[in-house]
Each structure stands twice: as C-alpha cells, then as structure tokens.
Chains A and B, each alone.
Chain A
Amino acid sequence: MSVQHTGKLLIAEKDSAICDTLVEYFRQVGYEVWGVKVRSEIVAQALDKGCGVIILDYHLSAGEHPEILDQLIRADASACVILITSYPLIELVIDAYRRGASDVVPKPLDLFEMSEVVERAFKQHELKKVYGYVRRNLDRVKQLMEEELRERPVGSHA
C-alpha cells in the first residue's frame, strides 16, 4: 500500500512537461500541489497557497532574478525551497545553500529521488515551524522578564 502524504507544495518550473508531470505525481501521492510556470507569479502563489515546500527551477529563479529564492525564504522563514537545475555547477550549489535552499537536485529528475527529497523537506518545514514558535515564545518571555526587572523598585528582591 502506498503512503499518502500531506502538505502544500508549489512547483515553479517553466517547462510545461516537467511541471505538469511533477504536479500530477505529487498530487497522486497525497500532497496539495500547484504548478506555476511564470516567474512573476512564484512568490505570490507560494504565499497565497501557504506552501511549506517549493520546488523551484533554478533558471526560472536565477539569471536576472536571483532574488526569488531570497524572497521566498524571507516571506516565510519556515518554507523549504528545493532547487532543480539542468546545469549543476559547484558554484550554483554553494550559492544556493548559502542563500538558504533546502536541497539542490540535478535534472533529469528521478521521481523516486524527488519523492524522498520532498518528504525530507516537509519534515524540515515542520521542524522550522516548531523552532519559530519556540523562538517567538522565548523572545516574549525574555521581553516580559526585562519589563518586570525594569518595573521592580531598586533594592527589592524576588
């Protein structure tokens, strides 16, 4: 019996054949999936649908517009971006992960490998969400403690 997955996935790929194949495949295994083939719609779609994982064609995001990866991560710190590329160069891989990509997968794509990569990315997305939640709460506790210390009369003890 095949495992059914959950999660919202965006596929940003200009090549219709690849985009449609990925959308169909990941939909079949249970994910909520959207495809986008136009660069200008990627960030808006990811935010609008609340996608935790984005598969992004490097050459749809790069060239004159390397900022799309940065925008996606800035917009949602828990989002995981998987770059796919036909031109896997070492400089590209290093640049991608310095910018915060979760993974880089060279084309031609192997659906089984992609499936593992996406599953791993969703696990990472969940961890990032928990980390963000804990971090926000710790910041809040720190803020409250600082306020209490400021308001406490000088020389008083807890």
Chain B
Amino acid sequence: MEQRSILVVDDELLIRDLLYDFFTEQGWDITIAESGEKALEILRNKEVDLLLTDLKMPDMDGLALTDRVRASYPDMPVVIMTGYPSVDSAVSALRQKVADYIIKPFNINQLYKSVEEKISEKRGEGH
C-alpha cells in the first residue's frame, strides 16, 4: 500500500502533537499546521491525500479553510474535528461535502479508520 499523506491543522499544540505521533507511528507522512493560513502555504508546496482540520480556530475556521482549499484542490477530502459541535456547523459541513465530522474528544482509532477510508475511496482502492 502506497504511503498515505495528511495535513493536520489545529491551533491546539496538544492535538497536533498527539496526531503527529500517532500517524507517524502508522508510517504515514504527516504535516502539521497551527492555522489555516499556514496550511494553505504548505499546500502550495506539498501534495497531500487528505486535510484533517479543527473547526474552531482564530482568524480562519475549518469551514473557511475548506472553502479555500476546495477552490484549488476540489477533490481533496476534508475531515473536520471539533470540540464545539453544533447542528448548524454540522449541516454547513454536510453542504460543503466534508468527508467526516468528528467530535472531540475523539477515539483515535475511530479517527484513523475514518481518515483511512476516505483516502482509500479517493484513491479508488478496493474497486
């Protein structure tokens, strides 16, 4: 199986560290960013399979980042994580065709399963 690559965007250092360690252990190529602007800058120079982003961040939230990313990479799956779930934001995510909406605190194995599935779908694996 070809190596998976993801970009994780979260303003919380703890979450970035947790996900970096976990996905690195799985042998994935993981890049982290602390803001939407930083994520966009990374994407200009690096191709990734999936964007995993926090919803509530200062400056640019996860849905605004999804919008910006979609403009340049329409096929990139986006998974949203949030510690502040709401019906409104979940419906907005649904309308933006976000691949999944994960509530924090999350079970890391479930998050892994979701992300892995979305990447497999994108690559057309298992068809």
In the assembled complex, A101 has its CB within 8 A of some CB on chain B = yes
Once the chains are docked, how many angstroms separate the CA of A106 from the CA of B90? 12
Instruction: From A10-18, A86-94, A143-151, give the one contacting chain B.
Output: A86-94
Once the chains are docked, how many angstroms separate the CA of A87 from the CA of B103? 19
The size class of the interface chain A forms with chain B is 10 to 19
Q: Mark A96-123, 1 if CB is under 8 A from B, else 0.
A: 1110011111100000000000001000
Q: Considering only CB atoms and an 8 Å cut-off, how many residues of chain B contact the other chain?
A: 12
Chain A: minimal CB distance from B101 (Å): 5
Q: Mark A61-94, 1 if CB is under 8 A from B, else 0.
A: 0000000000000000000000000001110011
- Which residues of chain A have C-beta atoms less than 8 A from B94's C-beta? 93, 96-97, 101-104
Q: Which of A94, A102, A106 has the most CB of B within 10 A?
A: A94
Q: Which residues of A contact B (CB under 8 A)?
A: 88-90, 93-94, 96-98, 101-106, 120, 139
- Which residues of chain B have C-beta atoms less than 8 A from A101's C-beta? 94
Q: Lowest 9 CB-CB distances: which A-B pairs, in order?
A: A93-B90, A97-B94, A88-B87, A90-B85, A94-B101, A104-B91, A90-B90, A90-B87, A93-B87
Known: A94-B90, A101-B94. 18 other contacts (CB 8 A): A88-B87, A90-B85, A90-B86, A90-B87, A93-B87, A93-B90, A93-B91, A93-B94, A93-B101, A94-B101, A96-B94, A97-B93, A97-B94, A97-B101, A103-B91, A103-B94, A120-B95, A139-B127
Once the chains are docked, how many angstroms separate the CA of A106 from the CA of B101? 18
In the assembled complex, B100 has its CB within 8 A of some CB on chain A = yes
Query: Is B91 within 8 A of A89, CB to CB?
Result: no
Q: Which residues of B contact A (CB under 8 A)?
A: 85-87, 90-91, 93-95, 100-101, 103, 127
- Which residues of chain A have C-beta atoms less than 8 A from B127's C-beta? 139
Query: Is B103 within 8 A of A90, CB to CB?
Result: yes
Chain A: minimal CB distance from B87 (Å): 5
Q: Name the residue of chain B whose CB is nearest to the CB of A97.
A: B94
- Which residues of chain B have C-beta atoms less than 8 A from A90's C-beta? 85-87, 90, 103
Once the chains are docked, how many angstroms separate the CA of A139 from the CA of B124? 11
Q: Which of A93, A102, A139 has the most CB of B within 10 A?
A: A93
- Which residues of chain A have C-beta atoms less than 8 A from B95's C-beta? 103, 120
Once the chains are docked, how many angstroms separate the CA of A103 from the CA of B94? 7
Once the chains are docked, how many angstroms separate the CA of A103 from the CA of B100? 14
Q: Name the residue of chain B whose CB is nearest to the CB of A85.
A: B87
Query: Is A106 within 8 A of B100, CB to CB?
Result: no
- Which residues of chain B have C-beta atoms less than 8 A from A88's C-beta? 87
